[in-house]
Amino acid sequence: MNKTKRKIFEASMKLFADKGYDGTSIEEITATVGVAKGTLYYHFSSKEEIFSFLVEEGVKLLKNSISIKTSKMDNTIDKIRAIILIQIKILFKYESFMTIILSQIWGQDSRSQLCKKYVFEYIQMIEEIVKYGIETGEIISGDSNIIASGIFGFTCSSYIYKMRHGGDININELFSEVDNLFIKKLAKAK
């Protein structure tokens, strides 16, 4: 991604998170980035295309980070730990992106459908790891879809925790709590 496209990407993400999609205009994006409309339209044909690009790139970052990390692991519980830690780090580092995804997932319009598509693909990725863990006896038996959705939801709740408490949150301490409250309960007793 070139420098100008990245600036458009980052400014749009912040504006969409702060003001919502409908509350953000192309004019605001160009003013924030400091480019002419023609420059913006050189990179993106519409505000809708910017939104789609944001969602696709953000989820791709999350999925790629998890694929790289978990591909080196054999143990399902370790993979789930890696997924949760990465998701918490991305939630906190890219708050604007997560605000967009979590606020837009509800509803039936095209943006909601796009967000659902990518979130469900991401949860499916987690579900495949969970299924394998159930099959190998590493984690408790259960509905892999519910468990995977729970992992996503439980991790997203850490963002709510951060919003409630404000300020700096120690990610490792938060992760340790999630590990004790949730992940360790998935491990099958030996």
pLDDT in tens, 26-41: 999 999 999 999 999 9
List alpha helices for the chain, DSSP H. Answer: 3-19, 26-33, 37-43, 47-70, 76-93, 95-104, 110-135, 144-165, 171-178, 184-186
Q: Would you state the pLDDT for residue 2? A: 83
Boundaries of CATH 1.10.357.10 in the chain?
52-186
Cα dist. 183→51, 76, 82, 129, 141 in Å? 33, 11, 11, 14, 14
Q: Would you state the pLDDT for residue 122? A: 93
Q: Would you state the pLDDT for residue 124? A: 96
Per-residue DSSP letters for 107-119?
SSSHHHHHHHHHH
pLDDT in tens, 142-170: 999 999 999 999 888 888 888 788 767 88
pTM for this structure? 0.87
Boundaries of CATH 1.10.10.60 in the chain?
1-45
Count the neighbouring beta carbons within 10 Å of the beta carbon of residue 189.
4
Cα dist. 111→9, 13, 40, 62, 118 in Å? 16, 14, 20, 19, 11
Cα–Cα dist 75/46, whole Å: 44
pLDDT tens, N- to C-terminus, the chain (190 residues): 788 888 998 899 999 999 989 999 999 999 999 999 999 999 999 999 999 999 998 898 889 999 999 998 999 999 999 999 999 888 888 888 888 888 888 889 999 999 999 999 999 999 999 999 999 999 999 999 999 999 999 888 888 888 788 767 888 888 998 888 888 889 877 6
Q: Would you state the pLDDT for residue 164? A: 84
Fold of the domain built from segment(s) 1-45: Arc Repressor Mutant, subunit A (1.10.10)
- Is 52-186 in CATH node 2.60.120.260? no
